[in-house]
Structures are given as structure tokens and as C-alpha cells.
Structure 1
């Protein structure tokens, strides 16, 4: 049957379900340049407005995987990966990958760069002198065999349809379509070749999904796709109303991650790292106790080997922005609220993130949260430390932070970091 882009657009515009043949054709034709950007924009908007069935989403994902190559990771260990939907201070990949590797799994963590208020794992690691993000497929395999963990940029050949469509969604107001988010995440992860996958689906002000209902819908879609493709897959819903840990930025988040690997660090970062590690090891069929391995120092040794394998110096001093500004508490009381989104945007304004994918980032820019919700404050006590190499950015960052904190007479109710776990 001959398909046309207009027929496919009309079918979805009118609320119909696309056939497998229509999906295969339109994804392939768009990748090859036979369907124009404006036509795919119209289809993406129709998907945003009318949704997709589980069958359609699974088939769309399969078509995106089939647009490129698949990695075949025969590395002598069970392979398991993790993906986070992104948050503020979310440096969990950094301690998690070496921890899970130290427990006996292989972790092929193909990561991205930050855009907007959420930081990118590669941007953080590039603050380490000498470290390189780009590895060949052979280098990825060799490092997984020798170290057990690799964090690097996605190779060009994986899911090229997703790369093209992702850029289009960003400029056409269709980023929020859950079927397109789910297929974007899963097509890259399936093409990457891991046998098991754990998803960290964030919910709250600093997350992409602001409501628990939205986050659950995304988690269910991700798990459904994983099951359809034969993956052992779990999704944890985790709180992102407050930044994770105390560091938000690039080098400052690496420092905090190293503290965790050395047996210290903020409790929430430790707790989430261990919770995700436990789930990853369970899905990989490994019985090691990640809390004990973290306490032993083995995870730090694996981190150091991983960084060295990619040209970095794990002992090198990390950059810190040359200009420092301190935000203080306006009143006595308990810190009741610390808005993750506001702090993420402020760090971005200081130079830790980018507005466009081609923008540079400052390795030393960032924010340290000196107090966390539930802690007692005294008026004038330091709340935040801002770091940047562009002092002219400080006023805009401060304006963003104007309503980022709440202070009250009573501590806030404690909320669980892990809200729920959904398993396929």
C-alpha cells in the first residue's frame, strides 16, 4: 500500500489509530528526508492532542530503533542501565554507575547534555580535566569488560529518527506528548542493547512531569514499551520538588558525587543511589548489597578507573566560578520549601546550563544549598552560595530566587523520596 504523509496526518488528526504499516513508513520516510519537517510537525501535534494506544507507541518505538544500529554488548556480565527523566541536582548517574558495576553488573550509560533548567550528565563530567565524552562502540565494549561502567555520549548511529524528531519537537511545542517522550527515551535505551533497565521518573516542580498523575502515565508507558521489547524494566517515581542533595551545577555536582562514593554526601543522594542500585541489581539477577559495597570504598575505586579510562584525572582539582554571592535567610524559623525549578533556572542563568543545544556551559558555575527543608534557620544565616564566572548574571539569578524559599514556625511534613515502584 502506498502511504502519504497527509493521509497519516489526517488519520491521527481525526482521532484514529495508526496502523503498523503507517507508523513504519512515516518514521522511515522522515528519517530519509521524504517527509518534510512541517509534515512531521503536524503529525507530532496530532499525537500530542489525540494520544496513541499502547500498541501504537510500542510500534513507533520499534520503528525509531530500526532507523539505526543496535549495540550488541557481549561483555561477560549482566547488562543493566538507568534513565532519569531529569531534575535539579540530579547527579545520581555519577555515583550509581560505578556502584552497580562494583556489584558485578555492566552499566552502559549513554547520556546527554543539559537543556534549560535540568543539568546534563556529560556537562558535569566534562568539568573533570581530560575526561572525554565521545567513545567508539569498540571502546564502550572494552571499557565495560575492563571497568564494568561507562558514561559517554550516544553514538551517532543509534536511533537517528529520534535525534531528528527530538529537535523538531523542541521548536514546535510538542515536547509534552507522552507517547513521543516515552518512545524517545526507550528507542535509545533499546538500541543501546542492555538487558535490563530502571527508570527514574521525576515528579514535582523541578521535574518535567509536575503532577503525580502525569508521572504515572509516563512511567506506565515506558514500562509497557520495555516489556514489549523483552526488557526487564522497572520505573521508580521519585520526588523532585526540592533539589537533590546540596549541589546544583556541573563541577559542584561531581564533587558531591565523589563525597557519596567516599562514604559521605547528603542523605537523599545516598538513599536514592542505593534504592536505584538495588532495583538495577534485582533486574540483573545479582544479589549483592549496594549499601555495603558503597560503604566499602569499592564503588569509588570503580569510579576512579572509569574516569581514567576516558582520559580524566579523578584526583584533579575541579573548577569553581570566580565570583561568589551568598543568599541569606530573611527570618527565623524552619525552612519549609525550597523550589527545585527556581534553583535550577538560577543555576542555568549563572552559566551552568544552556538555552540552545549549541551554547557552552561553565564548568564552575552552580549553586550550593546550605540549608534544606526541615532545617532550623536564623535570620541572616547563609541559605545559598552562587558561583559564576560571569558576575553580570547574578542579578537575573537572584530575581529567579526571590520566591524560592518558604520559612515557617513548624517544620514541613516529611515526604518520601521514592513515591512508588512500577515493574514490568
Structure 2
């Protein structure tokens, strides 16, 4: 291994919820690893909102495929992905600068090479050989999809990212105990974030559940995870800081 790149999250959905604690963790990781002979870079990235608009096992795989194929690339996800991948190329001496690395990465996305490599990786691990041509032939769908509308019209002023994640756990898409089973089909899509308008025609997200009762319970939890007001909050950077030893 020539180097290590760490993504250290900060915000209400992160292990370290404050910038100061996240930065201290990033500095510690970079210093210890580099001191042990492994050059390490850490990026402190924002987790005060869901990074993707999807949460859940199969739903996140579908989201990743959409990203790689160009069906959709949300700006914040793209920025974090490019920043981390660019650092990896420089660390692995496949690019001299992060600027040059970003050009290589964008070319791999636009040419389809990145998506093709992902498909080959899946096949090499025993998955389907033609995943990209029809992902939902291989990914399980939940039978119930329910849009979740807010109790008032306005602008999202805050998203409790950890609470959003716990909605997926409540649906069965995550574990509270090691022995718990995981349902790959359930989760959330079309999640909004701070600054997005919501109302009768603009839901907070869509719940994917096994039953109507589970969907209704998850909808209540999702509503509680968002605050809606009249004025949008200040936009936070997706990548806050780059740290090296």
C-alpha cells in the first residue's frame, strides 16, 4: 500500500458531530498512519444532510449505478467522490496533482470506463455479468412505495441525518443487534436536504417498505427528522478541509 485516503465525516449524521472533534480525529489518523510509514490524507466532509438522495441496500446500489452511468450526478455527491478519488490517484502516483486527477476521473466517467469497471468487479465477485443493462432484474424492490409529505409548505431548514438513517433501520434495512437480519429492498429515495422546497407536491422523500403499516410508521419518523421553515439556511460546503501530517 502506497498511501491512504480517509473520509472523516462531520455533522449530525457523523461519529464526530462537531467540526473540532472531526478535525482532531482526522489529524490523529493522518499523523499516526504517516508516522508509521503510510502517507495518509484525510478529508473532513459534511454529514449535516444525507449525501445521497437514497438510503438502503439495493437503493444505494441503484444510486451508485446511476452515478457511474451518468443517469444522475448530484453536485454534493460528485464533489465528495471526486475529491476523495483525486487524492487516491495522487497517493497512488497515478496523477501528479489533484487537478490532473480530476480530469482523469471525469474522463473515466464520461467514457463509461468507470461504470464498465464496476460491472466487471461485481461479476468477478460472483454477481451478475450484465448488471448495468438491467439493475432491477437483480436488485430486490420493496412492494410498497409511499411518498412522505411535510406537515407544512416551506423550505427545509435542517435535516437530522442520523434520524434519517434510523428510519432505514426501523424498516429492517439495518441492524440494532449483530444477529438481526437485513432486508436489502427497503429504504428511502428522493430525499431532500436543507434549502429544498417541500409541500403538497414536493415530498420529503419516498419510503420503500414491506407493508403499508411499516411505511406509515417510517413516514412519521422521516417527518420528525426534518425541520421546515420559510428561509433557506446557508449552504454548507460538501468538503470542509484537507488534512495531512
TM bucket, shorter chain: 0.7 to 0.9
Mapped contact 1:338–1:372 kept (Cα < 8 A): yes
Structure 1 residue aligned with 2:116: 301
Structure 1 residue aligned with 2:203: 382
Mapped contact 2:149–2:198 kept (Cα < 8 A): no
Deviations 1:339-375 (A, max 9, x none): 2111100011001101112221011010113433222
Mapped contact 2:7–2:42 kept (Cα < 8 A): yes
Q: Following superposition of structure 1 onto structure 2, how do residues 164-243 of structure 1 map, counting pairs within 5 Å? A: 194-243=1-50
How far, CA to CA, are the matches of 2:195 and 2:223 in structure 1? Answer: 20
TM superposition shift of 1:379: 3.4
Deviations 1:263-307 (A, max 9, x none): 223222121111101111111112242122222211001001101
TM superposition shift of 1:402: 3.8
Mapped contact 2:207–2:219 kept (Cα < 8 A): no
Deviations 1:119-165 (A, max 9, x none): xxxxxxxxxxxxxxxxxxxxxxxxxxxxxxxxxxxxxxxxxxxxxxx
Mapped contact 1:331–1:380 kept (Cα < 8 A): no
Output the aligned Cα RMSD: 1.7
How far, CA to CA, are the matches of 2:35 and 2:191 in structure 1? Answer: 45
Structure 2 residue aligned with 1:328: 149
How far, CA to CA, are the matches of 2:211 and 2:37 in structure 1? Answer: 48
Q: TM-score, normalised by structure 2?
A: 0.88
Q: Name stretches of at least 5 consecutive residues in structure 1 with no aligned partner.
A: 1-193
2:106 alignment partner, one of 265, 268, 291: 291
Mapped contact 1:320–1:364 kept (Cα < 8 A): yes
Matched, 1:269 2:90: no
Higher relative contact order (CA 8 A, sep 6+): 2
Structure 1 residue aligned with 2:140: 319
How far, CA to CA, are the matches of 2:222 and 2:188 in structure 1? Answer: 11
Q: Name stretches of at least 5 consecutive residues in structure 2 with no aligned partner.
A: 96-100
Q: TM-score, normalised by structure 1?
A: 0.52
Mapped contact 1:206–1:340 kept (Cα < 8 A): yes
Alignment: residue pair count: 231
408-417 vs 311-320, which moves further: 311-320
TM superposition shift of 1:332: 2.3
Structure 1 stretches of at least 4 aligned residues deviating more than 3 Å after TM superposition = 390-396
Deviations 1:314-342 (A, max 9, x none): 24421121122221022222222222111
